[in-house]
Amino acid sequence: MEDPEEETIDLTGPEEVVEEAEYNQDASDEDSLLPQAVVEGGEGHRPLRGTQRPLRRKLWLLTPKCSRDRCCFLSAFGITIFIILVTSAAYMHSTFASSCPYGFLLDTSQRVSVKKDPVTASGEIFPWDDVRLPSALVPNSYHIHLHPNLTTFKLTGNVSINVTVAKKTDMVVFHVKELKVTQASVNMSNNDTVPIMKELEYAENEQYCLILGQELSVGQSYTVEVQFSGELKDGLYGFYRSTYTSTNDDGVKEKRVLATTQFEAANARAAFPCFDEPALKATFQLHMVREGRHSTLFNMPKDHTDEYPGGLYMDVFQESVPMSTYLVCFIVSDFQSLQTSTDSDIAVAVHAPEDRIDQAHYALSVAKTVLQYYETFFGVKYPLPKMDLVAIPDFGAGAMENWGLVTYRETAILYNSDESSASDKQWVAIVIAHEFAHQWFGNLVTMKWWNDLWLNEGFASFVEYIGTDKVSPEWKMLDQFVVTDLQTALAADSLSNSHPISVTVGRPEEVEEIFDSISYDKGASILRMLESFLGRETFLQGLTSYLQEHQFGNAATDDLWKALDQAAHAAGKTDMNIKRVMDTWTNQMGYPVVTVTRQNSKLILEQDRFLLMPPSPACGGVVEFTSPYRYEWIIPLTYVTSAFPTGQQTLFLDTRHTTISLDNNSPEWVKFNTNQTGFYRVNYDPENWDALIGLLQENHEALNSADRAGLLDDAFFLVRAGLLGLEKSMELVKYVKKERDYVPIATALGGLGYIAKLLETENDEDLYNNMKLFILELLEETIREVGWEDQGDQLTKFLRSTVLGAACKYGHQQSTQQAQALFNSWMRSRKKVSPNLKTVVYTSGVQHGGKAEWDFCWQQYTSATVAAEKRKLLYALANSRDPDLVKKLLRYTLDSTKIRSQDTVRTITYVSQTAVGYKLAWEFVKSNWQTFLDRYGSGSFNMAELAKIPSHRFSTGRQLKEVKAFFQSHDISAAARAARQTMETIQTNIFWLEKNKRKVKTWIKNHFMPPEGGKARSSEI
């Protein structure tokens, strides 16, 4: 599944770049291009109750042998000591809670809890008390009959589930959510009925139990039949309804309704009763009743259609291959389609509303190319006869990999060459490549439980770049990986409240919390690192073996390591132990910073865990995860030196520190993490930093663009962590005057943008203005060279929108005037803006305009039929500098007829990233928290994103206290990790300002002097 917030628009980058929130404003600047990562975690203390019991036992042992007076004395003394200790403990605990800004969010192990019996709504005890289903029954097949009414939004249906008995049992427990069971039966193979003594539902665990009058026989098959009813709600999960407006043949706009599904992680149970766990694979057959004006889609092709009472029709579909319930999908709509087929005769079709189907041609071409390529890449044939791709008007995720029936947001599948930008086009290709990778990695072979979600998402997030590279190699996708995925994951994993890639998931709804940059981007990054030291051929051999061995079944992370280890040994790499290496990257959170110190011809290397802010002992209680490896990693180190700049060296660092020899050669500089393939940061001694700074100033192309970007990103984050002086990062970034490559410039603007943002919110106008002028001076020549003509290759277009966006953001007079002129020409003469300049022009027009410009953009938003265009306009509207207009836009998010529910959180996030709107956005979220909780539910990552709104710009102790008070007094069960992450991020902002604000002022004064003659610098560069 593709996370929706990975697609963020930013003035310092191409208008897309990603939809995956993913993506986090926590550890990275909202002004960067990167999808912002979600960081989570915490480690608790022992329960207080456990620390009291030993003390009680010792006091009791003192009393039996005492005289009466002595006994009384000792008892009184002991009780006194006991009271003192308990009082002290309570005081220390309260002090801890007050000194740690998020002490109230301690892991539950800090609190005493009493296990409650599962009590049903009727007051009876439910006979099963585990969130996981009992293992007594194994489903084999489902026959599903559904009748959704798209006028009344009522749903009726029945499901027949064939099960095999693995253990003796006298009950059948399955999942039901927001459905009413109207009748149930259990039948033997000879059609005899097993008596049902009682039926109970336990809503908290979303389970339904049939208590039987006899035990079921081990090894025998039975059929569980359930009739049910429900509603087609608009909650973006389960089997839900969506509405859209389409223009008919007469040019009249009509409101249309469709019904579609979104089941991952645990919402198939909201569409039909089922055994809703990923390891419980079965086959599925569907009978869907519909009106004549509608058509239906399922994971498998339609077999035939029968007439149905009431003038209706029933579509009967072929039986599926064995698959998990979360991959089942069915859709009822009046969509049109475009069709083709692959060279191996797999039918491929894209479905969309009739007036948007002409935007589906590019997706159809990409789908055919990628599907054909992946069959060769994975070495395993695609096992289904067809592949449908569907554009859904209301969709909570970015896309969903339902087997053979992939659903997408319209921005992720529809492309209009006249309206959409190069980044919109690339996004369509990326998301298709991502979801198609899942057809093998996730669908064909599925994780056993949600703790290995990263195995699905991390892998697809890596392979999407390879698939997209096949579509358009000129886009240099693997170069872009550094700024879009690697740097995003490093930022996300820099907080003490991160989490391991492989993380225990108790309740299925908790999986929503790990649809984040750790599972996606870090997962992709460590697989890229693994492929780098294994080699592409060996890596692919291991993947093919893994898929062939576990196809149509389930697997765990260790199964992948085993297959790759065998492939490595077969390739003669017998010294490798893949599991030993990779466990240090998946079973502990965080990553290392490697400090490199030169001593003549030797290099002293030392690894430590990298953290953005030194952990406070007072806040140690919130750490949820401890490291089984003492925060040490087995690191595949690579490096080059000035003596051998193209001769990459590789070694594995498996200790805290080591020393290596450079063969009696003392180079001018060394650069570690060649091509940025490793998931670690590097710090150098001052002399080596100075040598690298000099190298970039003299000949920056001596290092490739990935290495240049890596140096910049490491330097800015090392400063934030207090491991490098700010002066070094500012001296390093000065070379950017000569930089013309998109990836390093995007990285530099991300680091500088974080500084500028904090200075702006500090209301230090002089210092902020000087910082803006410094940034503009770095970009001066590049602004002139890229110009305003929308031309060039993909990365040139990205560079142009990035640089011009920054120019307008930071007040470059000529750029702002040009953007305003293009906006006014569009507004007054309807002269279209070039697709790749739209975000820059729209946003600048709204920022520097008034109510007329805002109203014009809103009118364009409401009438636009291209989803990518609507997104650009929404971003521009959020950047108004008029507080009243910003408030109006926020109010509109409560009305789904104005802003779709799927776009509400994105809109609020856009507002929260601006200097005018960040406080307004937080006040709005606070006032409407319950409304959003009712709308999105406790299992939605939307609530986590709303909890992160303050992290984008808050940077004072007062603001931290305010955020803490809100979280402490409201239901944040849907966003507890996000709340911890938010408060730690605010702390890192405070920490940076305390350590570096004065240094910025001093550096600018000493190194960014006015030109000769003493004239003040001007933004008119």
Residues assigned a catalytic role: 435
CA-CA distance, 951 to 964, in Å (whole number)? 12
Report the DSSP beta bridge partners of residue 142. 161, 284
Contacts of residue 605, Cβ cutoff 8 Å, sequence gap at least 6? 594, 595, 596, 637, 653, 657, 658, 659, 660
The answer to whether the CB of 335 falls within 8 A of the CB of 351 is yes
- Helix/strand/coil percentages in the chain, nearest 5: 45, 20, 35
- Please answer whether residues 909 and 38 qualify as being in contact, where contact means their C-beta atoms are separated by less than 8 angstroms: no
Query: Residue for token digits 């029709």?
Result: 313
- Beta partners for 147? 156
Assess contact for 916 and 883: CB atoms under 8 A: yes
The span from the CA of 2 to the CA of 158, in Å, is 31
For residues 779, 780, 783, 784, the Cα torsion angle rounded to the nearest 10 degrees is: -150
Burial of residue 308 (CB within 10 Å: 0-12, 13-18, 19+) is middle
In whole angstroms, give the CA distance from residue 365 to residue 363. Answer: 5
203 preceded by cis ω (within 30°)?
A: no
* Residue matched to tokens 């067809």: 386
Q: Provide the 3-class DSSP secondary structure of residue 740.
A: coil
3-state SS class at 498: coil
First-to-last C-alpha distance (Å) of the chain = 45
SS3 assignment, position 890: helix
**Dist CA 767 CA 244 (whole Å):** 48
Tokens of 297: 């889609």
For residue 274, give the DSSP letter.
B
DSSP category for residue 897: T
Backbone angles phi, psi at 597, to 5 degrees: -120, 130
Q: What are phi and psi of 143, to 5 degrees?
A: -115, 115
Q: Are 755 and 712 in contact (CB under 8 A)?
A: no
In terms of phi and psi (left: phi > 0; alpha: psi -120 to 50; beta: otherwise), the region of 208 is beta
Stated as kind and residue range, the H or E segment containing 333 is: strand 330-333
Describe the strand order of the beta sheet including 336-341 as a list of residue ranges.
336-341, 347-352, 386-392, 405-409, 399-400
Count CA within 13 A, CB hemisphere, residue 339. 6
> How many helices (H) and strands (E) are present in the chain, helices listed first?
29, 31
CB within 8 A of 735, min separation 6: which ones?
693, 696, 697, 700
Q: How far apart are CA 794 and CA 425, in angstroms?
A: 10
In a 13 Å sphere around the CA of 282, the CA atoms on its Cβ side amount to: 22
Structural Rg of the chain based on CA atoms: 30
What is the spatial distance between Cα 862 and Cα 209, in angstroms, rounded to a whole number?
Answer: 48
Residue 483 DSSP label: I
Cα 612 from Cα 496, distance rounded (Å): 8
CA distance 745 to 739: 7
Tokens 């750790």 sit at which residue?
518
Q: Which two tokens stand for residue 348?
A: 């491929």
Listed in sequence order, the residues at least 6 apart from 418 whose beta carbon sits closer than 8 Å to its beta carbon are 832, 835
